[in-house]
């Protein structure tokens, strides 16, 4: 029985792949941050109408959960850079 050797990745290819992963993670974090930062202005009219801290907390919780669910379904593709 003979075993085939799998081609080894060059250090440059490995670094390129690692950079793609880091870019995708950074893109995810940026998207989460931007969505959460937008919450106060988005929800302000509803919060003002409510006046109840429990309703406000529930509204925020629902919005944050909705954002996280939406983002968890989002597929990010890393930037195509030439390294």
Query: Domain containing 59: what range?
Result: 11-73
Residue 44 resides in a domain: yes
- Tell me, what DSSP letter sits at residue 52? -
Whether 79 is in a domain gets the answer no
Average pLDDT along the chain: 81
Residue 51 lies in a domain: yes
Is 37 part of a structural domain of the chain?
yes
| pLDDT given for residue 9 in this prediction | 74
Structurally, the chain folds into a number of domains equal to 1
The predicted model gives 51-75 an average pLDDT of 86
Of the candidates 12, 31, 28, the residue with the CA atom closest to the CA atom of residue 81? 12
| Tens digits of residue pLDDT in 2-50 | 555 556 778 888 898 999 989 988 988 898 899 989 998 988 888 888 8
b/e string for 41-65 if b means 16 or more Cβ within 10 A? Answer: eebeeebeeeeeeeeeeebeeebee
């Amino acid at each position: 029985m003979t075993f085939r050797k799998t081609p080894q990745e060059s250090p440059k290819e490995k670094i390129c792949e690692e950079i793609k992963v880091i870019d995708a993670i950074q893109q995810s974090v940026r998207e989460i941050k931007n969505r959460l930062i937008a919450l106060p202005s988005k929800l302000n009219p509803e919060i003002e109408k409510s006046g109840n801290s429990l309703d406000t907390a529930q509204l925020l919780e629902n919005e944050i959960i909705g954002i996280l669910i939406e983002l968890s379904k989002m597929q990010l593709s890393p930037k195509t850079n030439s390294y």
